[in-house]
């Protein structure tokens, strides 16, 4: 199983700041950030795989786990072939996948999960306010609907939160997500830098 990617999962409810932290980490040498949303957006819809995915999404249906993982695999292979992701030198930071327990089980053959960073915010009302403000700022009016936001929280509680229990408790690190992004990043790096140092002798290597 030594060919599995050394991986850290960014985890937390919608709006907690996973994307923000992932993007920042992705600019630091030795870390490679891959968000599931970016995988979907970069898919060639004219390809056979793209056509399969489009058939589900155009009906408003969730893309099956098997297809989602196949998309993810192909994206990682492409990033590796282009040398954007260097598995021998980069810690893979995953955001938005695995989204449920079946995905977590299926991805075990590909991932050596060293740590799960669980960004937490106990005040859901504050999260709703943050997400509505962000949606209005980015002109995503559907996302500004409080009912839509709370429905996303329900889906997270039902489908995604159980993934936390799939991984051993000692590798799950809870980090308070409320605060300035730089402050949250500081706490994230306090967890990640020792992991990077212990698994990569030359984290800046090409």
Q: pLDDT per residue over 149-183, tens digit each? A: 899 899 999 999 999 999 999 999 999 998 889 99
The per-residue pLDDT for range 62-109, each reduced to its tens digit, is 889 999 999 999 999 999 999 999 999 999 999 999 999 999 999 999
Answer whether residue 170 is part of any domain.
Answer: yes
Contact present, 115 and 8 (Cβ < 8 Å): yes
Answer whether residue 112 is part of any domain.
Answer: yes
Range of the structural domain that residue 182 is part of: 5-35+89-196
- Could you tell me the CATH number of the domain that includes residue 141? 3.40.50.300
Q: How confident is the model at residue 1 (pLDDT cuts 50, 70, 90)?
A: very low
Please give the tally of structural domains in the chain.
1
Answer whether residue 75 is part of any domain.
Answer: no
DSSP summary character for residue 190: H
Contact present, 10 and 18 (Cβ < 8 Å): yes
Answer whether residue 159 is part of any domain.
Answer: yes
Total number of residues shown for the chain = 206
Q: What is the pTM of this model?
A: 0.89
Contact present, 206 and 87 (Cβ < 8 Å): no
Element (H, E) at 59: none
Element (H, E) at 50: helix 48-57
Answer whether residue 176 is part of any domain.
Answer: yes
Distance CA 27, CA 101 (A): 29
162 backbone dihedrals φ, ψ, rounded to 5°: -60, -20
């Amino acid at each position: 199983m030594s060919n599995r990617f050394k991986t850290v999962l960014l985890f937390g409810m919608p709006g907690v700041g996973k994307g923000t932290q992932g993007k920042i980490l992705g600019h630091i040498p030795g870390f490679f950030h891959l968000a599931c949303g970016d995988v979907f957006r970069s898919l060639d819809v004219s390809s056979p795989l793209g056509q399969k995915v489009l058939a589900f999404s155009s009906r408003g249906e969730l893309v099956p786990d098997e297809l989602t993982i196949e998309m993810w695999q192909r994206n990682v292979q492409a990033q590796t072939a282009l040398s954007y992701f260097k598995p021998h030198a980069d810690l893979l930071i995953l955001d938005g996948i695995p989204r449920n327990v079946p995905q977590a089980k299926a991805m075990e053959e590909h991932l050596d999960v060293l740590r799960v960073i669980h960004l937490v915010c106990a005040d859901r009302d504050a999260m709703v306010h943050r997400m509505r403000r962000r949606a209005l700022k980015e002109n995503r009016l559907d996302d500004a609907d409080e009912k839509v936001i709370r429905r996303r929280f329900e889906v997270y509680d039902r489908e995604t939160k159980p993934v936390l229990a799939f991984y051993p408790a000692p590798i799950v690190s809870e980090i308070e997500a409320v605060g300035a992004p730089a402050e949250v990043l500081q706490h994230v790096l306090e967890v990640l830098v020792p992991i990077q140092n212990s698994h990569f002798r030359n984290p800046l290597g090409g």
